[in-house]
Amino acid sequence: MTTTARLGFCCKYLPEDGAADVARQMNTMTVTMTYLARLDAKAAYDKLLAVVSHNLEAVTRQIAHVSKRPKLERLHRMSSDLLPGYTHTSCQQLYQDTDLRNLIETKLAQAGELARKHDVRLSMHPGQFCVIASANPNAAANGIAEFEYHVDVMRLMGYGNGWHPHGAHINIHGGAKALGAEGIRGGLMNLSETARNLITIENDEVSFGLDDLLPLVDDVPLVLDLHHHWIKSGGEYIEPEDPRVGLIIRSWRGVQPLSHVSVSREALLPAYDIHALPDFRALTEAGIKPRDLRAHSDLMWNMAVNDLVARHLTWSDFEVEAKMKNIASEGLALHMQKTFGEQRLAASS
């Protein structure tokens, strides 16, 4: 494992002062296939080129920002819309254009080199429709194509060789539960070797809970999502001493594991004691629906959950899935530093 625990934000950068020009420069944008279809061939190419050019600069700026943060925060999930329409039939020929390919390959290589130079751990997380096993052959084929697009991005950034190099990974959900763990295991065999070396699977709130994924520990690294598990289990908080944590660590085969954390929305629990772990049973008995508890908060407002994350930093990095993105992750990092101190964080890493 690596020797530095890390926290990071997901996909989008939010300027603390709300500056719109900074937000535009720092974040990716997209274009719909419907819009491109209304344009002639040259206009469609020009539009796609403009969007891709912007996105490649934006992701580089995000990595540069993270590279200047304290070592505790050298972790970042990149946006999936980096190359819009990459797998869509209407765009495949456009992406074969020599100038566009050279731009993509050059800029992604530079971004990957920047991340490695500053020890920034990178990940991607396709949308929930991206599954590698499905009873619907078309859905499975589309999911695999979408996953392999993310693999192309990672490969062009320099993460195409070996088992989760530098901790890089592409995370998905298990998908529909009907096929079970065996279905996922079969889906892995339909991926390229590079894809199998980059994929991770996280537990979710509906189909594949943590216990459903544990049979796969020798097949694929598991990402523990603390909030999803809290929902799926009806209120259980996993501590680092839980024997299931040992199985998750084993699944990563020597690479530092990564986990996810979030907490229910502030507006849903406005009077809740910030120093007490949210009580799922009490909240649902009070009339709050589990589907509402699933929604992510703006910030990491609950200090007891934050302390739980600190205990798990002994074995795992964490992506913060909060709506305020970098502001939330920086707040959580500050909590770690104030509560436990830099020395303890370093000792526990």
Domains and CATH numbers, the chain: 7-348 (3.20.20.150)
Q: How confident is the model at residue 342 (pLDDT cuts 50, 70, 90)?
A: low
Burial of 30 (0-12, 13-18, 19+ CB in 10 A): middle
C-alpha Rg value of the chain to the nearest Å: 20
Q: Are 12 and 320 a contacting pair, CB within 8 Å?
A: no
Cβ–Cβ under 8 Å, residues 115 and 74: no
pLDDT in tens, 291-302: 999 999 999 999
The pLDDT tens digits for 97-156 are: 999 999 999 999 999 999 999 999 999 999 888 999 888 889 889 999 999 999 999 999
Count of CB atoms within 10 A of residue 69's CB?
A: 21
**CA 109 – CA 30 distance, rounded (Å):** 21
What would the pLDDT profile of 37-76 be if each residue is shown by its tens digit?
999 999 999 999 999 999 999 999 999 999 999 999 999 9
- If one counts every other C-beta atom within 10 angstroms of the C-beta of residue 82, the result is 23
Residue 31 has pLDDT above 50, yes or no: yes
The residue type found at 13 is: Y
- Which of 167, 238, 246, 248 shows the shortest CA–CA distance to 201? 248
Nearest to 245 by CA among 4, 279, 236, 297: 236
Q: What are phi and psi of 30, to 5 degrees?
A: -140, 175
- Is residue 318 packed enough to be buried (19+ CB in 10 Å), middle (13-18) or exposed (0-12)? buried
Q: Bin 167: left if φ > 0, else alpha if -120 < ψ < 50, else beta.
A: left
Separation of alpha carbons 299 and 296, rounded Å: 9
Above 80 in pLDDT, residue 157? yes
What are the two backbone dihedrals, phi and then psi, of residue 200, each rounded to the nearest 5 degrees?
-135, 160
Quick check: 117 and 74 in contact, CB under 8 A? no
What percent helix, strand, coil does the chain show, rounded to 5?
Answer: 50, 10, 40
What's residue 135's pLDDT?
86
Classify residue 169 by its DSSP letter.
E
User: Which pLDDT score is estimated for 344?
Assistant: 54
